[in-house]
Chain A
Amino acid sequence: MPAAVCIEDLTLRYPSGAVAVAGLSLDVRPGEIFGLLGLNGAGKSSLIKAIASLLRPSTGRVRIFGLDTRTHAAAVKQRIGVVPQENNLDAALNVRHNLLFRCRYAGIPGHVASQRVKRWLSLLGLEDKAEESVLHLSGGCKRKVMLAKAFVTEPEILVLDEPSAGLDLGVRELLWEQVRIFRAAGNTVFLSTHYLEEAEALCDRIGILHRGRLVSMLACDQGSSLAPGMAAATFRAVTGQAGMDEAP
């Protein structure tokens, strides 16, 4: 079986000339939760965009279950659910319609979409907000809708770009629970985060990205999480930075 995410010698260069990712290679196995740690500007979000087929590689390639994101972008996007770092909710629609249209864009029939939307509204405690415009939601609620949008199409790979940012403890725990359930069903998670605690609690492996390069890789023992503080110590050693944000 091909790797869930296979990145080969990837370089991402913006039109301005800035290099976000330089010569990065990485495999994420099916059923794995892979965490990416890095400071602001390390290239995490650019890498996530490349995985989601939003950014075209300058050199190298990204394959999702063997499908090249350049040549099979539509098929790739069928298999992934993405929570971008920034809110991309449709401001002209309410919460329910945001989720329904996410399903419709993915080609999910109306009756199936309605059931899934109902389920996710309930799971994330958004039932009473369903008819509200997303413009009127709090930051935390918007984030919940973003999470629901990623899950509602039932992808095989979940790509999360700093999903805990701005979430309170309760919602963060809910997110972690859903991520674990998602993985327990045999699915794969690619998670970028600022929070060491989150990475250590959830991930099977953690890569540390620094100035566009993967500078370290940590793996935990089968079935258990990383030793507390291991990621933080490694991060400090490889980046020379005193520390990162604490978990919310």
Chain B
Amino acid sequence: MRFVLALLYRNLVVGRASVQLTLIRVVFQPAIYLFVFGHVVGRVIPVSGQNGYGAVIAPGIIAMATVGAPFVTIGGQVLSGYFFRTLEEWLLAPVTLRTVLAAMLLGGVCSGVINSLVVVILAWLILDLTPSDPAFLLLAVVAGAFLFSLVSLVVLLLPQRPDRGREVFSILMMLMTFFGCTFYSYAMLEPPFSYFALLLPTTYISEGLRAAYAPGQPHLDADAALTGLILIAIVLLPCTDWVFRRRLGSFSW
């Protein structure tokens, strides 16, 4: 447990040391998205419902923070671990390999949740949107951040070199952002696109957040969204454990 807390504290120290970059990424970037797509564009796009397109896009922008932040944290750790050998330092700590894995996953989840909650506050300030069901919002964010912490580790550690994984992740993120119901709701899709969207985890996060914000508006059923997230995480967890042990159990970087 001490190692896990120490690694979380290390992430905090690193974030504090580059506070300007952190603020740009965590606050400034989503604020611009919310203002431009939610406030400016949102007023001219006709969407049924009280809050218009702003209520559709805001959960999607929160979802982007939920999936992007774990990758920034875990990707930073793995890539710096590869290029600067920092991972070797953690692997030399007197803990099991699974403790290192747990610490990295928890770091990813924490950064995903914190970044998402910052965007929730920004959505309130910029678009005057507040979630109808904050508990479900938190649940969707935690599940989404956990899921993308797993995805980040698998994608980065599965190839021989993590910098190749970074390229794969960029492509995955592009697909998931544009086809995973972040800029539009699932209800706006028709087959076969709606079937394809169900394959993408971002769909369940975005739709779960839409359910938390505006239960009255059309979206995937909240339970279905959460079940989708949990099922994908259940499948990915043993994969992540296997990839992590395979790559770092015998450390030859």
Instruction: List residues of chain A with CB under 8 Å of any chain B CB.
Output: 14-15, 49, 52, 54-56, 73-78, 82, 84, 86-93, 97, 101-102, 104-107, 149
Contacts and interface: CB of A to CB of B under 8 A. Distances in A.
Contacts of A54: 88, 91-92, 250-251
6 contacts: A54-B88, A74-B94, A92-B86, A104-B6, A105-B3, A105-B95
Interface string B35-47: 0000000000000
A71 to B, nearest CB: 11
A55 B6 contact: no
Contact of A93 (B13, B85, B95, B97): B13
Contacts of B88: 54, 84, 88
B79 to A, nearest CB: 11
Contact of B250 (A56, A87, A93, A107): A56
B14 A75 contact: no
A52 B90 CA distance: 12
Given A91-B80, A104-B2, A77 B86 contact: no
Contacts of B96: 73-74
B80 A92 contact: yes
Contacts of B80: 90-92
Q: Lowest 7 CB-CB distances: which A-B pairs, in order?
A: A104-B6, A78-B94, A105-B93, A88-B85, A77-B94, A56-B250, A91-B84
B17 interface: yes
Interface of B: 2-3, 6-7, 9-10, 13-14, 17, 76, 80, 84-86, 88-97, 99, 249-252
Contacts of B9: 104
A56 B249 contact: yes
Contacts of A78: 94
Nearest to A70: B249
B58 to A, nearest CB: 32
Contacts of A55: 250-252
Given A74-B94, A75-B94, A88 B84 contact: yes
A139 to B, nearest CB: 14
A104 B3 CA distance: 7
Given A52-B92, A74-B95, A92 B14 contact: yes
Nearest to A73: B96
A102 B86 CA distance: 11
Given A74-B95, A91-B84, A97-B13, A105 B90 contact: yes
Given A56-B250, A73-B96, A87-B85, A107 B2 contact: yes
Contacts of A107: 2-3, 94
A152 to B, nearest CB: 13
B71 to A, nearest CB: 17
A77 B89 contact: no
Given A76-B94, A92-B76, 19 more contacts: A54-B88, A56-B249, A74-B94, A74-B99, A77-B93, A78-B94, A84-B85, A87-B85, A88-B84, A88-B85, A88-B88, A89-B84, A91-B80, A91-B84, A102-B89, A104-B3, A105-B3, A105-B7, A106-B94
Nearest to A52: B92
A107 B7 CA distance: 12
A84 B251 CA distance: 13
Contacts of B10: 90, 93, 97, 101, 104
A111 to B, nearest CB: 14
A90 B84 contact: yes
Given A15-B252, A89-B84, A106 B93 contact: yes
A101 B252 contact: no
A97 B14 CA distance: 10
